[in-house]
Amino acid sequence: MPDSAGAAGGEAHERSCPSGRAVDGASLIGIVGADGRLGYLNRAIPLEDAFLERVSGRAPMRRFRFSEPCIEAGCAQWTGSSCGVIDKVLGGADEVLDAGAERLPRCPIRKSCRWFHQVGRDACGVCPFVVRGDDEHEDQWALVTPTAPDVDPSQ
């Protein structure tokens, strides 16, 4: 079974990029919430032309999370043996890891995810806070610090 939807199955080397682009062949796997934290879908949804047209030019990678097949050496982020993005992200992630490490988020691509395969649950601790740049900065990733909801202590 092809891995284009980020689903499990296929050969062991067929991995899914968990922070792909909004392009034909990619799947939607999450939506960024108002607090900046990613909410994962129950299943990966292959992108349709109508969706791609609707989000084009509107920084879709900052508002949604997409998965593409991992193309390893065909990607500028490949170090030769692994994905450089998750290593860089984890390098500066202590604070957000604390916020996200209690339990793994439910995620539709875990069985094929490149980051999970590479570094295990640490990837999932930081993953909800990773945002990819917009169309002009699509090879840049950043961590967001989720904003706490406003709570009135008198209520």
Residues that bind ligand SF4 (CB under 6 A): 18, 105, 107, 109-110, 113, 115-116, 123-124, 127
Residue with tokens 């891995």: 3
Q: Is 14 exposed, middle or buried (0-12, 13-18, 19+ CB in 10 A)?
A: middle
- Minimum distance between the CB of residue 124 and ligand SF4, rounded to whole angstroms? 3
Q: For residues 23 and 54, which CB has a smaller minimum distance to ligand SF4 in the complex?
A: 23
Q: For residues 90 and 95, which CB has a smaller minimum distance to ligand SF4 in the complex?
A: 90
- Among the listed residues 123, 10, 112, 24, the one whose alpha carbon sits nearest the alpha carbon of residue 66: 24
Q: For residues 56 and 142, which CB has a smaller minimum distance to ligand SF4 in the complex?
A: 142
User: What is the C-alpha separation between 133 and 59, in angstroms, rounded?
Assistant: 8
Q: For residues 2 and 120, which CB has a smaller minimum distance to ligand SF4 in the complex?
A: 120
User: What is the C-alpha separation between 26 and 65, in angstroms, rounded?
Assistant: 10
User: What is the C-alpha separation between 20 and 67, in angstroms, rounded?
Assistant: 5
- Minimum distance between the CB of residue 80 and ligand SF4, rounded to whole angstroms? 21
- Minimum distance between the CB of residue 34 and ligand SF4, rounded to whole angstroms? 20
- Minimum distance between the CB of residue 96 and ligand SF4, rounded to whole angstroms? 13
Q: Could you say which DSSP state residue 148 is in?
A: P
- Minimum distance between the CB of residue 10 and ligand SF4, rounded to whole angstroms? 16
Q: Kind and range of the H or E element at 46?
A: strand 38-46
Q: For residues 66 and 145, which CB has a smaller minimum distance to ligand SF4 in the complex?
A: 66
Residue with tokens 């296929």: 10
